[in-house]
Structure 1
């Protein structure tokens, strides 16, 4: 996603409101006019005390760690991954300053979550969604000439959410009749995670997992494990996916060997029996 697209998304109400909520306490403290209205009792209340500074510093560390683990590689993905931590920290700060203000912020917090869900990708895609692991296995075996790139994901994982538009764009650009893109939600269908050795827990670093199948056999996956059986960190950007699975070469190979389609009007061969 380009920087121009990132900034255009920031104009959407979800991002604008969440940025404001994430900075609400700091803005109220550092804005003299706003602070004098919200905290009218003392001028000293418009300065951050040691406890408030500690909370904000701790928040900064948490956001940096969690967004890196989530594989955030764009400005929008960083923001999406950090919103929940920022809003929880602001909730604590507002309660610390005044219980009434904390309750008001909590109500706004909940209402915004209900009214303004995170925008989802609505562009073109060419993805087959599987509902069972049996359905996936059946499709892999149905025609072994088809190469499949399958994403194993969960709806609640931030890294999976951030990767969804990237995968959709790749499927739209590279899909062929013998090069197909699939997805299966291992949160809803844990049998798929079990069969393909993917940890689907809340702290998993294997979400999402992308597996390349050729001849119905797994030939590559990301993230992968190294020689010491340790998971190798992988950032799910568009360029990284193209490089990891050599998509350009794979596309050219599949395009050069497109499946021959059967035509309804094809002549039918018949055997002629000679009569004596």
Structure 2
């Protein structure tokens, strides 16, 4: 699995340097400080009940993390899911001690969400960041590549962040002289969304959108332009994109000189 390729030191460095991860770590660590400080003033009944719930929460989170580390294809999605459920368990535990403490943690998590965001995968692989003008030029005036697979993303979309590792790693595997990969940031160029028929509304679930161009013309896209399918499309993974756009077949055609 791809996430196993990430070095532990790289993950540790990200936790220390990225505000999103660092603030979450400090918030979770503060629970142990609060728990230790509150122990002398809690009644034996509450202390016993809280200890039992802490064991249950730790076991449940461990099982959930083990399940997700097998199912998720990249670290970005795994960390996002684990942090979400860890916050739910923490709020549930603080509710046993004092609901005021629960409200404080809810405020802390809200502030973290507002002022920071989970970092996306930073490497591009062999994909190129291009502007809409550059893409139009490549498609209309022609280029050395017969095929272009373009990811339309936004750096502020949680779905794009979760899947940000997939496209660069796909580009490393499948790019060749006749097949290129490009990335268009719709956060920087929102007008391009309307031009390519992509809704920036969160309710439409069209971010990220992937479009395959052949000889300058669109031949397929995901998700498709179908209003009835909004919000119901499959999670973005390398395997799914490879199967959807038949990348293995396209690579074989290139190898065979077709």
- Give the TM bin, normalised by the shorter chain: 0.5 to 0.7
Question: Match for 1:18 among 8, 15, 24?
Answer: 24
Against the structure 1 CA distance between its residues 84 and 235, is the aligned structure 2 distance closer, same or farther, given a 3 Å change threshold?
closer
CA distance in 2, matches of 1:20, 1:170: 35
SS at match of 2:202: coil
8 Å Cα contact 2:72/2:78 also seen in 1? yes
TM-score by length of 2: 0.67
Q: Pick the structure with more helix per residue.
A: 2
2:205 aligned partner: 205
SS at match of 1:155: coil
Q: Mind listing any 5+ residue stretches in structure 1 that lack a counterpart?
A: 61-66, 259-276
In the TM superposition, what are the counterparts of 1:175-194 in structure 2 within 5 Å?
175-194=175-194
Against the structure 1 CA distance between its residues 250 and 124, is the aligned structure 2 distance closer, same or farther, given a 3 Å change threshold?
same
2:247 aligned partner: 247
Cα-Cα RMSD: 4.4
TM-score by length of 1: 0.63
SS at match of 1:203: helix
CA distance in 1, matches of 2:210, 2:89: 34
In the TM superposition, what are the counterparts of 1:145-164 in structure 2 within 5 Å?
146-164=146-164
1:134 maps to 2:140: no
CA distance in 2, matches of 1:225, 1:163: 20
1:199-220 alpha-carbon deviations (Å, 9 max, x no partner): 1123331111111000111111
CA distance in 1, matches of 2:77, 2:123: 17
1:28-62 alpha-carbon deviations (Å, 9 max, x no partner): 5xxxx9745324323344336xxx9xxx9xxx9xx
CA distance in 2, matches of 1:208, 1:108: 26
Structure 1 segments (4+ residues) deviating >4 Å = 9-13, 22-25, 71-76, 84-96, 98-114, 116-120, 255-258
Q: Mind listing any 5+ residue stretches in structure 2 that lack a counterpart?
A: 16-20, 62-67
